[in-house]
Structure 1
Amino acid sequence: MKHDAIVLGAGMVGVCCALHLQARGLSVALVDRRAPGMETSYGNAGIIQREAIAPYALDRDLGFLLSGMTNRRTDVRYHLGDAARLLGPLWSYYQNSAPEAYQKIAAEYETLIACSLETHEQLMHDANARHLVARRGYLTLYRSERDLHELFKVADERARQGVNHVKLSGVDVAQAEPSLVGRFAGAVRWTDPLAIRSPGDLVQAYARLFAQRRGTLHLGDAIALRQTDAGHWQVDAADDVLQAPQVVVALGPWTTDLTQRYGYTVPMIPKRGYHVHYAPQPLKPLNSTVIDGDHGFVVAPMKDGLRLTTGAELAMPDAPRTPGQIEAAEKIARRVYPLGQRVEREPWMGTRPCMPDMKPVFGAVPGVPGMWCAFGHGHQGFTLGPITGELLAAMVAGAPPRVDVQPFSPARFAA
């Protein structure tokens, strides 16, 4: 079956690339080894984070670094052997987190985040998926006055850049979330983001829209990609052999497993995350998604119950699962949040592909005509999928993107 483009990877980023290429008039095939939205896009905290105008920097505070070495923190853990393999990228991450470098990175990153809500809302409208929006906004919660004061300073700075919020005292938190146990200094309610009741379902809704618009969905192994004698791309799907002059590799943390065969690799930092669902307690509802700022986990009311999502575990995607982080988070969360019994026996696990400069990678793969990539969104692939797809499709079509895409070019990592 011949197409104008093949997109490999049916997570949020890949599906949105396929939709926007299709909107440019291209015939598109979307290929994944699983159904759309069943890998990393399935397992996140479900927030379209319009407020996240700055990426996650590496905390350069000595106390944080020393406590991290103990490997007992709830927000960040690591596999020792894998962390050693990542020393080069982590050192670059540390350097890019210095104030001067980070300020420039954040300014470039903000150009994408600023487009996140409008691009999602258009797709949700087209896909008839507004019912998946559970609520607007979420809480970032702190127990100490010092940490809360720092959060308020961040909120005020972001307000000057168009991000809306409401500051809450400890009394306000108790009124807004009476089921929480304990005393809190206060919180910030970020009022722009959208909390989604099932992230995987939203990706699937976008994939159905793609199919309704005459796109084709296929199960297949992206690693089987090859070039024909004519220079076109070909991949075996379960139901057909697909061929196209253009291919987009949007395989998240597995992207470079494929692109390195063609001479392109990057210093990716894999950050794994875990989640578990818990039965809600009808008499003790949680009204908002909450980021527990002290411990770095999220508790979110979702379709399948209350989802507890961990921070980051530095480990390769295929490394053995280590339940210590989610178990430590659960012990703390049970003392504070209205968690019922576990819905699943084993935690879900996924891997976020993060870059040392904290910016996603999308555009033409250097030195490989007809190959494009879109990956490396870190914690914000769910948020940035639609704008990434729009910008990549413009580049493929030879049209001017509406924001400067140079800061996100794959060429910045080319040898």
Structure 2
Amino acid sequence: MAQSHIQQADVIVLGAGIIGVSVALQLQRRGRSVILVDRRDAGEETSYGNAGLIERSSVVPYGAPRELSKLMRYAFNLSTEVRFDWRQMPRIAPWLWQFWRESAPKPLARAAADMQPLIERSVSEHEALMSEAGALPQLRRAGWLEVYRNEKTFEQARGAATALHPFGLNYEVLDRKALQQREPHLTNAVVGAVHWLDPATVADPGALVKAYARHFVERGGVFLRGDALHLQREETGWSIAAGSARLEAPEAVVALGPWTDKISRSLGYKVPLVMKRGYHVHFEAEGDALLNHPVVDADGGFVLAPMAQGVRLTTGVEFASRGSRPSPVQLDRTEPLARQIFPLRQRIEPKPWMGSRPCLPDMRPVIGRGFRHKGLWFAFGHNHHGLTLGPITGRLLAEMMTGEKAFTDPAPYAMERFG
């Protein structure tokens, strides 16, 4: 039997999604030696399956609706936006209750204020890393379109956009004619849109994470395959097995997205983490039809985005357990709706992709120390905005870990808020 050898570094980062890779890069930029560990290659889990948005315009977190009619539609699985696996309701009911309370106007305003320092730097931090990694050509600065099918919801959207003026966002309201000029192949089923101009997009988020990881290795970082769930506490720090190597470091960062709770629970942290699963599938476009921007169908409850693999249809939220079988009902419901607004041909893949978004009920991520253990740090729970907030999360955590002055107060993201 081969004897394992010991490999040491300043920090072990567990998880090679956008959060973990960004943390590793930001620590490396500050002179730390880092070993990145994941069971798969970089960007192949949750970071792969999103609409490619770096969402600078989402200054208000995605809260629970307050309208009784919408809540009832959600409760009975009548909406394309949200689906419940009712077998999970006993487990997630306390989370949903807390989420609904945190979505009231005053708590939601506090959450928006707490998230603003991260959101407003999201694009610029990506630009900095992309420039270093030679990936800047992947960045598109054309924003995204929030489209509407009826005049009533379109009018409500115009009012909601106006209410965001204090955040200094740039947008354009497009009637049907103006929208047709911007997206000629959208059909007349759409009456208008809000074009959010501040966000950026990428056509292959998984490839972007791989580019960041490749840059990390080129700069001297170490990326190894291993089961990140087997982290062990040692007298001098933390250790984990990776193949024939035993990795040791004084500090460890847990950035495992929807799997983070497996480690946090074992170490005594009670964090109310819930998975919002999502699905996507790619289509060919009919004839010479092109989609120039990601399109969020606000009335239909889905996203169509031009991706390297084709036109990606991405669903809303499914509340289900992490290990339950895929149930892509939302894709089947939204595909006919998507065909109403854009000419799609057949699906490209025979099997839809499924991933889990790690979400916390107060709509803030955890970025900071594990207060029960020396040298343990966490970065997870980004509530739909992992791709958006990866680099800025890495920067904030790296500043905290290296004693650098943090660009913003990290208190709102502390693990201690959950006890």
TM over 0.5: yes
Query: Match for residue 391 of structure 1?
Result: 396
Q: Is residue 168 from structure 1 mapped to residue 183 from structure 2 by the alignment?
A: no
Query: Match for residue 417 of structure 2?
Result: 412
Q: Deviations over 1:40-70 (max 9, x none)?
A: 0000000101111111000011000111122
Choose the corresponding residue for 1:354, options 340, 355, 359.
359
Query: Match for residue 194 of structure 2?
Result: 188
1:121-132 paired onto structure 2 within 5 Å = 121-132=127-138
One-letter amino acid of the counterpart of residue 404, structure 1: D
Q: Deviations over 1:258-298 (max 9, x none)?
A: 12111113111210000001113341111211000002210
Choose the corresponding residue for 2:151, options 115, 127, 145.
145
Task: Compute the displacement of 1:158 (Å).
Answer: 2.5
Whether contact under 8 Å (1:391, 1:402) holds in the other structure is yes
Query: Match for residue 258 of structure 1?
Result: 263
1:112-127 paired onto structure 2 within 5 Å = 112-127=118-133
Q: Which runs of 5+ in 1 are unaligned?
A: none
SS class of match (2:59): coil
Whether contact under 8 Å (1:51, 1:158) holds in the other structure is no
1:302-321 paired onto structure 2 within 5 Å = 302-321=307-326
SS class of match (1:36): coil
Task: Compute the displacement of 1:164 (Å).
Answer: 0.7
For 1:286 and 1:399, locate their aligned partners in 2 and report how far apart those are by CA, in whole Å.
Answer: 43
**How many residue pairs end up in the alignment?**
413
Task: Compute the displacement of 1:132 (Å).
Answer: 1.6
For 1:231 and 1:125, locate their aligned partners in 2 and report how far apart those are by CA, in whole Å.
Answer: 37
1:220-239 paired onto structure 2 within 5 Å = 220-228=226-234, 230-239=235-244
TM (normalized to structure 2)?
A: 0.96
One-letter amino acid of the counterpart of residue 38, structure 1: E
One-letter amino acid of the counterpart of residue 43, structure 2: G
SS class of match (1:248): strand
Q: How well do the aligned residues superpose, as a CA RMSD in angstroms? A: 1.2
For 2:192 and 2:39, locate their aligned partners in 1 and report how far apart those are by CA, in whole Å.
Answer: 44
For 1:355 and 1:143, locate their aligned partners in 2 and report how far apart those are by CA, in whole Å.
Answer: 31
For 1:233 and 1:175, locate their aligned partners in 2 and report how far apart those are by CA, in whole Å.
Answer: 57
Task: Compute the displacement of 1:238 (Å).
Answer: 2.1
TM (normalized to structure 1)?
A: 0.97
For 2:406 and 2:156, locate their aligned partners in 1 and report how far apart those are by CA, in whole Å.
Answer: 36
Q: Is residue 110 from structure 1 mapped to residue 116 from structure 2 by the alignment?
A: yes
Task: Compute the displacement of 1:134 (Å).
Answer: 4.3
Q: Is residue 249 from structure 1 mapped to residue 249 from structure 2 by the alignment?
A: no
One-letter amino acid of the counterpart of residue 246, structure 1: E
The percent of aligned pairs where both chains have the same amino acid is 45
SS class of match (2:157): helix
Query: Match for residue 216 of structure 1?
Result: 222
Whether contact under 8 Å (2:226, 2:242) holds in the other structure is yes
Choose the corresponding residue for 1:44, options 40, 50, 66.
50
Task: Compute the displacement of 1:256 (Å).
Answer: 1.1
Whether contact under 8 Å (2:95, 2:361) holds in the other structure is yes
